[in-house]
Amino acid sequence: MKPDIIADQYVNYLLVEKGLSGKTIEAYSSDLSRYFDFLKKKGIRHISDTDTPFILKYLIALRKAGLGAKSRARHLITLRGFYRFAVQEKILKQDPARLLDLPKSGLKLPDTLSFEEVERLLNIPDTNKPTGARNAAMLELLYAAGLRVSELVNLKFHDVNTEACFVRVFGKGSKERIVPIGLYAKEKIDHYIKSARSLLLKNIVSQYLFVARAGKPMTRQGFWKLLRLYAQKTGINKKITPHTLRHSFASHLLERGADLRAVQVMLGHVDISTTQIYTHVAREHLKNMHEKFHPRG
């Protein structure tokens, strides 16, 4: 069924059954009209052809158009009601907006970098220098696995398996997750381990993968300073933080068609059992999905 026909049914539902005011219905109608214009521009004729990543793209488009957080939150509320109605009327089998939650402070979408901007950033460190090789590996892994900066700096040497292209991460609440890392990260980590790590350690033994002075891990503040320096060198006119790369990781996967729930698993937003219970089949599924959809997989 065409979107405008369903919209008319939905507006009538709001008027007759919900008894909403004229101004509220007018606002909902305006929001839906803008959304349908976006559908037409993307060549989508039926709402059954939309999904959660598509709605996320629309919200991002609203932000780029200059809409504030509260306005985008209202648009999301409109879409959630609209899709809920479509499922209720058996027009759709599943609700693609149900996974999108509104934060208490209103909808605030994270800043992200384009893939080209990420490439520029990741290519800045001089890998011929020990610290440059380390920093290059850290940046690449941050983006490859969507890590939090605290997870990155606290990685132990044995947490990374470059042969199998996986990293074991302990996130919030010490919850463990296994994330694929891709070939670019594998190559830069291997290069760092073989050519730079021992030079940085200077005969000191350390359990940490990425080491700073006296074999200690780099601090979060230290990595922030490095990232800020590299960001300035790229000339990218955006505020770039470690979390920017984490958000870019998720956005780029979703934009290329990755399953939202699998991305949530890799980000650590869903509880994951221990490594022993986390089966080989699940590992291979995530690894294959990462290789297929991640731009540097």
Confirm whether 102 is domain-assigned.
no
- pLDDT for residue 52: 86
End position of a domain, from candidates 41, 69, 88: 88
Q: Indicate whether 47 belongs to any domain.
A: yes
Q: Is 274 among the domain residues?
A: yes
What pLDDT, on the 0 to 100 scale, is given for residue 134? Answer: 97
Angle among Cα 158, 163, 169 to the nearest 5 degrees reads 40
Which two three-digit tokens encode residue 66? 């200059």
Of the listed ranges 54-68, 103-117, 161-175, 190-204, the one predicted with least confidence: 103-117
Q: Across the strands, what pairs with 167? A: 160, 179
DSSP class of residue 47? G
Least confident range from 12-16, 115-119, 144-148, 202-206: namely 12-16
Residue 136 maps to a domain: yes
Together in a domain, 140 and 263: yes
In the chain, the amino acid numbered 166 is F
pLDDT, average across residues 257-278: 55
Give the pLDDT of residue 289.
Answer: 66
Domain identity same for 78 and 214: no
- Kindly state whether residue 178 falls inside one of the protein's structural domains: yes
Number of domains in the chain: 2
Residues 84 and 190 in one domain: no
Boundary residue ending a domain (33, 53, 88): 88
User: Which CATH number does the domain housing residue 65 bear?
Assistant: 1.10.150.130
Residues with a known catalytic role: 148, 172, 243, 246, 269, 278
- For range 184-203, the mean pLDDT: 95
pLDDT band at 83 (very low <50, low <70, confident <90, very high): very high
DSSP string computed for 239-252: ---HHHHHHHHHHH
Answer yes or no: is pLDDT of 107 > 70: no
How confident is the model at residue 155, as a pLDDT? 96
| 147 or 105, greater pLDDT | 147
Please report the pLDDT score of residue 293 as a whole number: 72
- Give the domain CATH number at 251: 1.10.443.10
Is 66 within a domain?
Answer: yes
What is the domain extent for residue 214? Answer: 115-293
Asked whether residue 55 is domain-assigned, the answer is yes
66: left (phi over 0), alpha (psi -120 to 50) or beta: left
Indicate if 134 and 37 belong to the same structural domain. no
Decide if 280 is inside a domain. Answer: yes
Residues 55 and 143 in one domain: no
Q: Find the mean pLDDT for residues 101-112.
A: 57
Task: Report whether pLDDT(249) > 90.
Answer: no
* In contact, 96 and 39? CB cutoff 8 Å: no
How many Cα neighbours within 13 Å face the side chain of 171? 21
Share of the chain above pLDDT 70, in %: 86
Tell me the pLDDT tens digit for each residue of 196-234.
999 999 989 999 999 998 889 998 889 989 999 999 999
Question: DSSP H helical segments within the chain, as ranges?
Answer: 3-16, 22-41, 52-64, 69-88, 115-122, 130-145, 149-153, 182-195, 197-201, 220-234, 242-255, 260-267, 280-293
Burial of 20 (0-12, 13-18, 19+ CB in 10 A): middle
Closest CA to 168 of 147, 192, 138, 191: 147
